[in-house]
Amino acid sequence: MDEAAGPAQPPGAASGGAPLPDLAELLTPEGTKIVLVLFLSFLIGLEREEHKATAAEYAFGGVRTYPLIGLVGYGTALLAGPVLGLVAVGFAIVGGFMMLSYWRKVSASGLGGATSEMSGLAIYIVGALVQHDYFWIATTLVVINLLLLELKAGLESLATRMAPDEIFTFAKFMLLTAVILPVLPDEPFGPFAINPFRSWLVVVAVSGVSYGSYVLQRATRLRGGVVLAAVLGGAYSSTVMTLVLARRAAREHRPHLFAGAMLTASGMMYLRLAALVALFNAPLAARLAPFFVPLALGGIGGGFIWAHVPDHDSHDVERRFEPANPLEMKTALLFAVLFLAMLVATHLAASYLGRTGLFVLGVLMGVTDIDPYIMGLTQSAGTLTALPVAAAGILIAASSNNVAKGVYAFVLADRKTGLQALVALLLLAAAGLLPLFFASF
C-alpha cells in the first residue's frame, strides 16, 4: 500500500475541504417544518389550480398563492412566539386580502362561493399550527379541506336529496345527544343498577347504526334491486324488511328473488348485532364472533344465490322500500323505554329464574324486536349474567326472531314464496342453535 497516499477521506468530503453536510444536517427542525408547510399548502393549491382551469370567471389562488399563505402563517407564528394575539392580527390581515378577492369575484361574475378564500384562511392556520408542532392537526385539516373541495358535487346533490324535515330530525337528535349525554351520570342507580349514561348511549348506538343504513338506502334509492334493498334493510331492521318483502312478494310472483332477499336480510341481522355487541361488551362479542360470522355469511351468501335462481316469471322488480327515519324522537324514546324494561326483566329473570328464565325471555322477544333484549344482555354479561349464558341467550333470541320472520313471510307472501322463505329461515334458525349443542355454554 502506498503510505504517502495518506488517510482515506470520509464519504462526501471534497478534495482538500471539509465534508459536505448530509440531508439530515441540512433539514433542521425548523427546515422540516417549512417543508411540511410547503407540502400541505401545495396540495390545496394544486386542487385549486385544477378548479381554476375549469372556471369560466375569476378564481382565487393556485400552486403559488397557497404555499405563500402557508409560509406567512408559519413566519407570523415564529415571530410571535407565545403571543397568539399577533397570529390573530396576521389572520385578520390575510382575511382582508381574502375579502378583496371575494369582492372582485362577486363583481366580475356575480358568483358568491367563498370556498377558495376560506381554504386560504385555513392554510394560514395550518402554517401557524406546524410552527407550534401541531403536525397531526395541521395534516388532518388539510386532508379534510381536500375532501370537502373534491366532494363538492356529491355533497351538494346529497343536500338536495335530503328533505328539510329529515335534516331537522337529525339536528334535534344531535342536539339531544350532544347536550344530554355528557351530563348524564355514569354510575349505576337503584336495585337494578341502571346506568343513565350507558342506557342513553345504547339508544344512540342502535339508532346510529339504523340511521347509517337509512342514509345508504336513501342515497341508492333509484339504483340496485331487491337484493341490495335487503342488504341495507337488514342492517336497518331485518324484521321490518321481511314484512315489506313478504307483502310485495304476494303481488310480484318472484318466489326465488323474494325468498332469497328475506334470507339475505336475516344474514345481515347477524352483522348488525355483532357490531352493536362489540361496541358495549368486547368479551361477549369475542365469544359470539365464531358463530355470528358463519351465520352472517351463510345467510347473505345463501340468500344471494337463491335470489338469482331464475323464476318462471323473470320480470324486473324495482325497489320500493322507504324506511322510516330511525332518528325520530318518538322512535328513540320508545326504544329507550323498551331497553330499560329489558334491563329490569333481565335482572329479575337472572335473579329468580336463572338461565332458563333468560332463555325463555329471549324466545319471547324474538317475536318482536330483539335489540332491547340483546343490548340489555351486553350490560349484564360478565357481572350479573355469565358470559356463556348471555351468549346463549343472544343466539336463542336471534333464532327465535328468524322463526318469527319465517312465519310472517309464510302468512303474508304468496304460497310458493312464503314456503321457500319459511324453510330458509328455519334452516338459518336451526344453524343458529347448533352452537348450543356443540360448544361450551
For residue range 331-388, what is the model confidence (pLDDT) as tens digits? 777 788 888 888 888 788 877 787 888 899 889 988 878 888 898 888 888 777 889 9
43-82 in b/e form (b: 16+ CB < 10 A) is bbbebbbebeeeeeeebbbbbebbbbbbbbbbbbbbebee
pLDDT of residue 441: 61
- Name the DSSP letter for residue 19: B
Same domain? 285 vs 355:
yes
Q: How confident is the model at residue 20 (pLDDT cuts 50, 70, 90)?
A: very low
Instruction: For residue 246, give its domain range.
Output: 163-438
Same domain? 366 vs 284:
yes
Average pLDDT on 191-201 reads 81
- Cell readout for 15 is 478534495
Q: Exposed (0-12), middle (13-18) or buried (19+): which is 4, by Cβ within 10 Å?
A: exposed
Q: Exposed (0-12), middle (13-18) or buried (19+): which is 153, by Cβ within 10 Å?
A: exposed
Q: Which of 174-183, 234-243, 272-281 has the least mean pLDDT? A: 174-183
Same domain? 61 vs 94:
yes
* Under 8 Å between Cβ of 41 and 52: no
Same domain? 227 vs 176:
yes
From 126, 150, 174, give the residue that closes a domain: 150
Distance from C-alpha of 11 to C-alpha of 187, rounded to nearest angstrom: 66
Half-sphere exposure of residue 20: CA atoms within 13 angstroms, side-chain side = 7
Q: Which of 93-97, 130-134, 250-254, 286-290 has the least mean pLDDT? A: 250-254
Tens of pLDDT, residues 108-166? 766 667 788 888 899 999 999 999 999 999 999 999 988 888 777 666 666 666 666 66
Q: Where are the alpha helices (DSSP H) in 110-187?
A: 115-131, 135-150, 152-161, 164-183
Q: Which of 34-48, 94-108, 310-324, 342-356 has the least mean pLDDT? A: 310-324
**Backbone conformation region of residue 254, classed left if phi is above 0, alpha if psi is from -120 to 50, else beta:** beta
The count of domains in the chain is 2
Same domain? 212 vs 142:
no
Best-predicted range by mean pLDDT (30-34, 207-211, 365-369, 393-397): 393-397
Asked, for residue 173, whether it belongs to a domain, the answer is: yes
Kindly report the pTM of this predicted structure.
0.65
Same domain? 139 vs 173:
no
Average pLDDT on 239-259 reads 87
Distance from C-alpha of 39 to C-alpha of 239, rounded to nearest angstrom: 51
Same domain? 106 vs 192:
no
Same domain? 280 vs 391:
yes
Tell me which residue of 243, 235, 202, 170 sits closest to 338, measured CA to CA. 202
Same domain? 282 vs 389:
yes
Q: What is the mean pLDDT of the chain?
A: 82
Asked, for residue 246, whether it belongs to a domain, the answer is: yes
pLDDT of residue 206: 81
From 121, 150, 179, give the residue that closes a domain: 150
